[in-house]
Amino acid sequence: MPDDLGKRIYVKSVLSYYLSRTVQKNLSYKKYRVDSKLQYFKPNFQKIEKSFSDEISFSLNQDLKYIHPKFFYDKKGSELFEKICNLPEYYPTRTEISILKKLKDELPRYFDGSFRLVELGSGSSVKTRLILDILTQNQEKIEYFPIDISEILTESSALLQRDYKHLNITGIVDTYECGLEFLKNYDDKRNLIIFLGSSFGNFTTDEGKEFLNKINSTMKEDDLFLIGLDLVKNKMILENAYNDSQGVTAQFNLNVLSRINDELDADFNLKNFAHYAIYNENAQRIEMYLKSLVNQSVIISKANFSLTLKKNELIHTEHSHKYTLFQIHELMNQTEFIIKNIWLDQNDHFALILVSKTSKF
Ligand code: AVI
């Protein structure tokens, strides 16, 4: 008879085996048809995931306390992130857009035949539109498959539909990994998968490699993958981007505590915390923290958990990795991708990398 922990691990592994099998068989997604041009798929089964409260009480109970960055993005956090993207100091968004604008003639050279656009994250943004504009140069009809865990994709899809008459949208409401697995078995059409905004930089090094391996394994031979990565640059430019003068990044960081207060009935006093972001040159990453300004204790009622923090103690909230071109080549090599092209902006601040699984093109 296994002990309690053993039992839990056993149940979890049986469940994850079951879940991955059901994904592979494509049986477990339910189709929701909104109209003739908009449908979406949602997993039929209930995903067994750790709850917000379990994750928070676990991560705040460590010697080095942390809150996973995925928790930034409640409604308020997503709005604040949109604001960050438009800040003068936050160069990644406008720089990536400037590169995409230059790809109008070059990117189609890699498209022999028609492609479906698959976006990791759901975009109603300028960037998705720029890619759609590029694809419409060669093909009249476009299929767009946004994959996003949040149902926000149904809202953003409606906006795109309004502006693109020959667009058929199929949203997949699931994690990127499961969504891609679903797509792999969906049909034989070729996919252009895009993962923009340097969101990849928020993974740890191991998570990142695992993620690229996963994408590679779900791609078909002649699919293409376009990824945006932020590059190593002057420390001041980097630190200013994460310490903007209007304090929006600080609000974004602190908002995660408001979220815990609201959703888990906690009593974080936001005045007792400060936003702290520095560039760690050795690790090549921005590290973002919430710094406790006093000795304090906080109760998180719904998690049945209380924590004490010393003055100046840090809660880690985000890593944002920056890469050199050499590292990008290495990373793609290690994860068995073949680089078709790398495009940079005029200051070499940001890179868009197009890769495939084989050297066929
Ligand atoms: C979403 N991600 C790529 C952003 C970044 O730059 O790492 C999140 C962010 N955090 C603070 N500012 C922006």
Query: Among 11-20, 161-170, 266-275, 330-339, which is the least confidently predicted range?
Result: 11-20
Residue 249 in contact with ligand 1 by CB distance below 6 A: yes
Residue identifier of the C-alpha nearest atom 3 of ligand 1: 199
Q: Which residues, 6+ apart, have CB-to-CB distance to 3 below 8 Å?
A: none
- The one-character DSSP state at 358 is S
225 CA from centroid of ligand 1 (Å): 21
On the question of pLDDT at 15 being above 70, the answer is no
**Does residue 320 have its Cβ closer than 6 Å to ligand 1?**
yes
- Mean pLDDT score of the chain: 89
Using DSSP, state whether 195 is helix, strand or coil.
Answer: strand
Place of tokens 């940001």: 350
- How far is residue 318's CA from residue 59's CA, in Å, rounded to a whole number? 13
149 Ramachandran zone, left/alpha/beta (phi>0; psi -120 to 50): alpha
Centre of ligand 1 to C-alpha 328, Å, is 19
* CB of 172 closer than 8 Å to CB of 41: yes
CB 335 within 8 A of CB 225: no
> Does the pLDDT value for residue 123 go beyond 70?
no
Nearest CA to ligand 1 atom 1: 199
C-alpha 90/C-alpha 74 separation (Å) is 21
Q: Of ligand 1's atoms, which has the minimum distance to the CA of residue 320?
A: 7
Question: What angle in degrees, to the nearest 10, is found between the helix axes of 205-218 and 176-184?
Answer: 20
Nearest CA to ligand 1 atom 7: 320
Is ligand 1 within 6 A of the CB of residue 176?
Answer: no
Residue whose tokens read 């000795």: 295
Q: Is the CB of 199 under 6 A from ligand 1?
A: yes
pLDDT at 16: 38
Which residue is it, tokens 């199929």?
170
In testing the pocket of ligand 1, which one of 68, 70, 73, 81 has its CB within 8 Å of the most ligand atoms?
81
Evaluate whether 275 touches 250 at the Cβ level (below 8 Å): yes
- Rounded to an integer, the average pLDDT of 187-201 is 95
Going by pLDDT thresholds of 50, 70 and 90, the confidence category of residue 14 is very low
Ordered DSSP codes for 53-93? HHHHHHHTTSSS-B--GGGG-SHHHHHHHHHHHT-SS-HHH
pLDDT digits (tens, 9 = 90+) for 235-294: 999 999 999 999 999 999 999 999 999 999 999 999 999 999 999 999 999 999 999 999
Residue nearest to atom 9 of ligand 1 (CA): 81
- pLDDT over threshold 60, residue 358: yes
pTM above 0.75, yes or no: yes
